[in-house]
Chains A and B, each alone.
Chain A
Amino acid sequence: MSAWKEFTKGIFRENPTFVVVLGLCPTLAVTTQTINGLGMGIAVIFVLTLSNLLISLLRNFIPEIVRIPAYIVIIASFVTIVQMVMKAFTPELDRALGIFIPLIVVNCIILGRAEAFASKNTPLLSVMDGLGMGVGFTLALTLIGLIREVLGSGTITLQLAGIGTVIDLTHWVQSPATIMILPTGGFIVLGTLLALIQYLKNRSAEKAKAKKV
């Protein structure tokens, strides 16, 4: 039961993008298309889950002083695997994500979970934690990508390696605002979403207070 709780906390209560606000660079840089956000998210799920698992298994063997370099090497190895797989099977995604694939190494979410969770918990819980955080990150990136793509180019791209489709919404979204797929749009969309979450949080806090009185 507690394993399930570790899984869901990453999706809502401790969502890495919207609540903890970590790993911002890929969040804003690659979300010009829905599929890029999704692809980035899946790459992060892979690296995060496996690095959490390995670090958790090795947690009693890695000496305290060299733990950070050790974590970084483990994470970098998985990132290298992702990089090779993407180059081989989804070259267009590899081109779209560009330098942000190797930069998964320095994504603070992954090192953060290694340090804060996997180094102190059992392998099962760490894997669930990694999966949950990864899924939370993926959902956030896909949502941001979806909003930006619909507003910015009037399409929803769900196509990878020739599978899937591009949904054309230009009939409803006439003259899309290119600014949304420019860097500016990324800042605006994430800022507005964060404000929305803060608003909902404030409201539920006020409700809880009103109930108490």
Chain B
Amino acid sequence: MDVNKLFVITMSAIFVNNFIFSRFLGLCPFFGVSKKMSSAIGMGFAVTFVLVMSTAVIYPVNLLLVRLGIEFLQVIVFILVIAAFVQMVEIFLKKMAPALYHALGIYLPLITTNCAILGTAFLVLKERYDFVESLFFAFAAGVGFSLALIMMASVRERLDLAKVPKAFKGLPIAFISAALMSMAMYAFVGFVK
């Protein structure tokens, strides 16, 4: 196991190639659920959890597709696997961990159409990560997503109290704040090679 590579993958997915600020994956929940801190934390956990688990499921499924020579079905198969998996997680959590289910409950169904999940599946293929590297990448991507979401939620909670020009109220000012944050994140470029 190449520990150095794992470290680089993790750091780069959290900071340098942050899913929100540099790859533009998962923007809908980023702007949709970042109004309140508690929901941002819930969504962050739910996405991280599903990301890691679905990557663990999709990796062998893809190997099977390659073995059968039907890679062109990737899009259809991946999205079905994700949808089925999210449904399964929901049922499983409801039965086994009701407390966690109540915390994540409403965010789980939304995750199927979160492009971060399907995006990770394709990024893992593009970067040719092996199984362990994929899991680290998925986890770090989830952490990066949560970090961005929580940062945004704390900014937006304060923005509610601030005096914003009328035209910029609501989403426009959220976009501008995201722009400033992504500029700050740009400082991490060069952090890993």
Residues of chain A at the chain B interface (Cβ within 8 Å): 21-26, 28-29, 68-69, 72-73, 76-77, 79-80, 83-84, 98-99, 102-103, 105-108, 111, 179, 182-188, 190-192, 194-196, 198-199, 202
Contact = CB atoms under 8 A, between A and B. Distances in A.
A106 B172 CA distance: 24
B78 to A, nearest CB: 8
Contact of B167 (A68, A99, A199): A199
Contacts of A68: 83
B143 interface: no
Interface residues of B, number: 46
**Which DSSP category, helix, strand, loop or mixed, fits chain B's interface?**
helix
B172 A192 contact: yes
A106 B115 contact: yes
A25 B28 contact: yes
Contact of B21 (A79, A106, A183, A185): A183
Contacts, number: 125
Interface string B160-179: 00000111111111111011
Nearest to A69: B83
Contact of B171 (A21, A79, A98, A106): A21
A106 B113 contact: yes
Contacts of B79: 72, 76, 105-106
Top 10 closest A-B pairs, CB basis?
A191-B175, A187-B179, A199-B167, A29-B24, A195-B172, A24-B27, A76-B76, A99-B122, A194-B172, A191-B176
B72 A80 contact: yes
A25 B25 contact: yes
B73 A99 contact: no
Nearest to B74: A102
A76 B75 contact: yes
B118 interface: yes
A26 to B, nearest CB: 8
B86 to A, nearest CB: 11
Interface string B117-141: 1110011001000000000000000
A183 B188 CA distance: 14
A25 B55 CA distance: 20
A111 B115 CA distance: 13
A154 B118 CA distance: 34
Contacts of B183: 179, 184
A111 B113 CA distance: 9
B26 A202 contact: no
Given A24-B27, A76-B75, A79-B75, A103 B167 contact: no
Contacts of B102: none
Given A99-B119, A102-B75, A188-B176, A28 B168 contact: no
B117 to A, nearest CB: 8
B62 interface: no
B159 to A, nearest CB: 13
Contacts of A83: 75
A99 to B, nearest CB: 4
A103 B123 CA distance: 11
Nearest to B84: A69
Nearest to A79: B75
A151 B29 CA distance: 29
